[in-house]
């Protein structure tokens, strides 16, 4: 795959956002906020950071992306489709009977999905198990990228994995947490406070890097720093805006679990939600195109 | 006289006072080492119970393939799943009360639905755990595991069968649950006794009643059968070590011959071996059935033998159940 410039990556992330919203609207159910918030991270991973071959999803030497908070899978599906794992048109089958794009991702249905997920808190453990094999048993070069949510840090299973990954010095493991500060019932710091999150992880012997989760350069740099870190797993705290790119969805937990056409109507009526969202994203796209190459 | 099947190759000391004894978890320990010798992809994870689950021998022999996860059963299952997805054959062991007791959802999603090649090993199952009491006497694990798609459920009857079951589990591609016991029980099978996943073995042949048992209580079933034979009741005894997938062919053939059934297990009467047999017979060949098991209650402290008596699981209770079921024969 040819190396994309930062600007090209930003455009790709914009395409991913537009496509995942279209797919969600057709599905008439699913999550909007999280996928929009993680589009830049997924774009950076699939189009710059990881070693992979979309035509050979089970290639032994590939880097592994474990999506722990499976409900944001529309962004993974859209990124995978753009990367060439399957045709873009298949995104229209999201959540429909017979689809490979299940409401929560399933390993046995779609090649390239490394594990089945949805129930929160178990991805980091699986990623750690894989990383253990890669580092200590098979001594392979491939890396494991585990994407988690802040909300799922309420789960005890997550912290069991945090202990495990530190004990076994899994420096081939990079966790990227979608720090968007919301969960289903409200703000994470109201529901079950996680702060000081960075200091917690450091006390658990993790290397921690905090970044703007919408700055693709920072995402790439953080993953490079993680790769250069020895004897510790790395946590990248990606500060993100849920619903990023669509003004009426941004920072609103009401948009956590609904698609365009089913969200709150206080600013945009239901039947206009997709159209307005796509217009906003298109405007953003044009701004990126007009910006100078960095 | 009880008609022990010759090609079951049971111990020559089958009914002797001095028959050798041991806990099925020891058979697991031996089998795990053998499986590890046969296949370098076998790895073992344990949640701070390495000695009592008998994972210790493997840990000593293959330290690079043993992973200590601490008292963290959710991580035990999910880290195991991750290792399976990276090509290993993980055996994840703890007490059955905690795994699959505590980590059921992790087993459901990351092992069963994921079709991860993980072997979940639940030690200290059953009331015969003894003095530790109800919290540690797991009586619901067969029910939990046998309803999961893709999951194979094995319940070996003695040390030797546990050894074979462990090796077979390693060779089987896909999720397996292996149920083990803590207490010493007779070792009445031999290296020559046949064992294959999914195949029930007829240990004693008879024509009046079929006893279907799994786990160490199978020995109590044989003791019961011997006494019943002395009273002119001809008893067929089936070792149903694989509770899922059930060997319908062997079971139905026997039941069609005898017409009545007693099941025996150290598990709740709901959802275990008895439940599996009831589902089968109810749909394919309804006949009178008595289920020997724990009657919808929790266990308590005591020594294994007195608990088996008190909870109605020992051979005198099996004999009574056979007598009851025979009165229901049409």
Task: List pLDDT tens digits, range B84-125.
Answer: 999 999 999 999 999 999 999 999 999 999 999 999 999 999
| CATH hierarchy code of domain B21-186 | 3.40.50.970
What mean pLDDT is predicted for residues B219-233?
A: 97
Residues of A in contact with B43 (CB under 8 A): 137
For residue A149, what are the β-bridge partners? A178
Q: How close does chain B come to A160, measured CA to CA in Å?
A: 6
Q: How close does chain A come to B72, measured CA to CA in Å?
A: 6
Q: How close does chain B come to A116, measured CA to CA in Å?
A: 6
Token pair belonging to B47: 């949640």
Residues of B in contact with A137 (CB under 8 A): 43, 64-65, 88
Cβ atoms of residues A82 and A50 within 8 Å? no
Task: List pLDDT tens digits, range B9-46.
Answer: 999 999 999 999 999 999 999 999 999 999 999 999 99
Query: Exposed, middle or buried: residue A112 (CB in 10 Å: 0-12, 13-18, 19+)?
Result: buried
Does the beta-carbon distance from A129 to B82 stay under 8 Å?
Answer: yes
Cβ atoms of residues A249 and A242 within 8 Å? yes
Residues of A at the B interface (Cβ-Cβ below 8 Å)?
Answer: 66, 106-108, 114-119, 121-122, 125-134, 136-138, 156-157, 160-161, 163-164, 168
Minimal Cβ distance to B106: which of A106, A108, A122: A122
pTM of the entire predicted model:
0.96
Task: List pLDDT tens digits, range B249-269.
Answer: 999 999 999 999 999 999 999
Does the beta-carbon distance from B109 to A119 stay under 8 Å?
Answer: yes
What's the pLDDT score for residue B276? 98
Minimal Cβ distance to B81: which of A126, A131, A164: A126
Minimal Cβ distance to B70: which of A119, A121, A163: A163
What is the C-alpha to C-alpha distance for residues A165 and A136, in angstroms, rounded to an integer?
12
Residue B267 parent element (H or E): strand B261-268
Residues of A in contact with B106 (CB under 8 A): 119, 122, 125, 157
What's the pLDDT score for residue A139? 97
Q: How close does chain A come to B265, measured CA to CA in Å?
A: 33
Same fold yes or no, B3-19+192-327 and B21-186: yes
Q: Does B110 touch chain A (CB under 8 A)?
A: yes
Q: Annotate A74-130 with DSSP letters as a single string.
A: HHHHHHHHHHTSS-GGGGGGTTSTT-SS-SS--TTTSTT--S---STT-HHHHHHHH
Mean pLDDT by 10 residues, chain A (294 residues): 89 98 97 97 98 97 98 98 98 98 97 96 98 98 98 98 98 98 93 97 98 98 98 98 97 93 95 98 97 81
Q: Does B78 touch chain A (CB under 8 A)?
A: yes
Q: Does B184 touch chain A (CB under 8 A)?
A: no
Q: How close does chain B come to A135, measured CA to CA in Å?
A: 11
Q: Which residues of B are catalytic?
A: 73
Minimal Cβ distance to A160: which of B67, B74, B114: B74
Token pair belonging to B187: 């070792």
Picking from B86, B105, B108, B118 by the largest number of A CB atoms within 10 A of its own CB, the best residue to mutate is B86
Does the beta-carbon distance from A130 to B83 stay under 8 Å?
Answer: yes
What mean pLDDT is predicted for residues B306-322?
A: 98
What's the pLDDT score for residue B235? 98
What's the pLDDT score for residue A294? 65
Does the beta-carbon distance from A119 to B105 stay under 8 Å?
Answer: yes
Cβ atoms of residues B165 and B31 within 8 Å? yes
| CATH hierarchy code of domain B3-19+192-327 | 3.40.50.920
Q: Give backbone dihedrals phi and psi of A59, rounded to 5 degrees, phi first.
A: -50, 125
What's the pLDDT score for residue B330? 77
Question: ipTM of the predicted structure?
Answer: 0.94
- Report the chain A residue with the minimal C-alpha distance to residue B85: A130
Closest by CA to A40, choosing from A20, A11, A19, A68, is: A11
Task: List pLDDT tens digits, range B58-73.
Answer: 999 999 999 999 999 9
Counting residues of chain B whose pLDDT is more than 70, the rounded percentage is 100
Residues of A in contact with B64 (CB under 8 A): 136-137
Average pLDDT taken over every residue of chain B: 97
Does the beta-carbon distance from A129 to B85 stay under 8 Å?
Answer: yes
The number of angstroms, rounded, from the C-alpha of B90 to the middle of its chain's C-alpha atoms is: 20
Residues of A in contact with B46 (CB under 8 A): none
Residues of A in contact with B89 (CB under 8 A): none
Confidence of residue B220 (pLDDT cuts 50, 70, 90): very high
What's the pLDDT score for residue A293? 79
41-70 of B, contacting A, C-beta below 8 A: 43, 64-65, 67, 69-70
Residues of A in contact with B84 (CB under 8 A): 129
| CATH hierarchy code of domain A6-290 | 3.40.50.970
Residues of A in contact with B66 (CB under 8 A): none
Token pair belonging to A286: 């044009």
Domain boundaries, chain A: 6-290
Alpha carbon distances (Å) from A262 to A29, A254, A259, B2: 8, 10, 6, 71
Task: List pLDDT tens digits, range A146-198.
Answer: 999 999 999 999 999 999 999 999 999 999 999 999 999 989 999 999 999 99
What is the C-alpha to C-alpha distance for residues A240 and A182, in angstroms, rounded to an integer?
10
Q: How close does chain A come to B43, measured CA to CA in Å?
A: 10
What is the C-alpha to C-alpha distance for residues A106 and A116, in angstroms, rounded to an integer?
4
Q: Does B80 touch chain A (CB under 8 A)?
A: yes
Counting residues of chain B whose pLDDT is more than 90, the rounded percentage is 99
Picking from A104, A126, A142 by the largest number of B CB atoms within 10 A of its own CB, the best residue to mutate is A126
Alpha carbon distances (Å) from A251 to A24, A42, A242, B274: 19, 19, 5, 54
- Report the chain A residue with the minimal C-alpha distance to residue B111: A116
Does the beta-carbon distance from A118 to B109 stay under 8 Å?
Answer: yes
Kindly tell me if the per-residue pLDDT of B323 is higher than 70. Answer: yes
Residues of B in contact with A131 (CB under 8 A): 82
- Report the chain A residue with the minimal C-alpha distance to residue B107: A122
CB pairs under 8 A between A and B: 101
Domain boundaries, chain B: 3-19+192-327, 21-186
């Amino acid at each position: 795959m040819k190396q994309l410039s930062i600007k090209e990556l930003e455009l790709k992330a914009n395409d991913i956002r537009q496509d995942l919203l279209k797919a969600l609207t057709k599905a008439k159910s699913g999550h909007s906020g999280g996928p929009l918030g993680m589009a830049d991270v997924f774009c950076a991973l699939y189009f710059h950071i990881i070693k992979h071959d979309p035509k050979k999803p089970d290639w032994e030497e590939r880097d592994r992306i474990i999506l722990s908070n499976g409900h944001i899978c529309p962004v993974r599906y859209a990124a995978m489709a753009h990367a060439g794992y399957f045709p873009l048109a298949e995104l229209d089958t999201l959540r429909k009977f017979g689809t490979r794009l299940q409401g929560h991702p399933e390993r046995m249905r779609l090649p390239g999905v490394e594990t089945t997920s949805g129930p929160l808190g178990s991805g980091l453990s699986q990623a750690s198990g894989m990383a253990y094999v890669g580092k200590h048993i098979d001594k392979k070069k491939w890396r494991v990228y585990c994407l988690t949510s802040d909300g799922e840090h309420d789960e005890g299973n997550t912290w069991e994995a945090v202990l495990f990954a530190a004990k076994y010095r899994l420096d081939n493991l990079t966790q990227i947490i979608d720090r968007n500060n919301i969960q289903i019932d409200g703000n994470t710091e109201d529901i079950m406070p996680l702060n000081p999150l960075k200091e917690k992880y450091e006390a658990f012997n993790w290397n921690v890097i905090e970044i703007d989760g919408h700055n693709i350069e920072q995402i790439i740099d953080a993953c490079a720093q993680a790769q250069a870190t020895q004897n510790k797993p790395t946590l990248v705290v990606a500060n993100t805006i849920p619903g990023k790119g669509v003004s009426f969805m941004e920072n609103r937990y009401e948009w956590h679990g609904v698609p365009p056409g089913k969200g709150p109507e206080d600013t945009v009526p239901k039947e206009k939600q997709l159209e307005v969202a796509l217009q906003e994203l298109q405007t953003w796209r044009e701004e990126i195109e007009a910006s100078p190459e960095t | 006289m009880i008609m022990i099947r010759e090609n079951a190759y049971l111990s020559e000391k089958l009914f002797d006072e001095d028959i050798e004894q041991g806990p099925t978890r020891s058979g697991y320990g031996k089998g795990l080492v053998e499986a590890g010798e046969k296949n370098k992809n076998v790895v073992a994870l344990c949640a701070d119970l390495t000695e009592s689950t008998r994972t210790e021998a493997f840990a000593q022999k293959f330290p690079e393939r043993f992973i200590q996860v601490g008292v963290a059963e959710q991580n035990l299952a999910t880290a195991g799943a991750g290792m399976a997805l990276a090509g290993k054959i993980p055996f994840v062991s703890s007490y059955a009360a905690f795994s699959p007791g505590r980590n059921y959802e992790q087993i459901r999603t990351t092992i069963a639905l994921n079709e991860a090649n993980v072997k979940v090993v639940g030690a200290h199952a059953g009331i015969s755990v003894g003095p530790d009491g109800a919290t540690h006497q797991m009586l619901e694990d067969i029910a939990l595991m046998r309803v999961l798609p893709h999951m194979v459920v094995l319940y070996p009857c003695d040390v030797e069968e546990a050894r074979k079951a462990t090796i077979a589990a390693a060779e089987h591609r896909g999720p397996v649950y292996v149920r083990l016991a803590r207490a010493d029980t007779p070792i009445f099978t031999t290296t020559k006794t046949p064992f294959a996943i999914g195949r029930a073995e007829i240990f004693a042949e008879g024509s009046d009643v079929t006893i279907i048992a799994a786990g160490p209580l199978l020995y109590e079933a044989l003791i019961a059968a011997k006494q019943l034979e002395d009273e002119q009741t001809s008893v067929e005894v089936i070792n149903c070590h694989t509770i899922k997938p059930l060997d319908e062919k062997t079971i139905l053939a026997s039941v069609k011959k005898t017409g009545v059934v007693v099941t025996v297990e150290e598990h709740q009467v709901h959802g275990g071996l008895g439940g599996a047999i009831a589902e089968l017979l109810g749909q394919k060949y309804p006949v009178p059935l008595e289920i020997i098991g724990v009657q919808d209650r929790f266990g308590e402290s005591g020594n294994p033998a007195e608990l088996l008596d008190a909870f109605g699981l020992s051979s005198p209770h099996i004999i009574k159940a056979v007598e009851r079921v025979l009165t229901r024969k049409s």
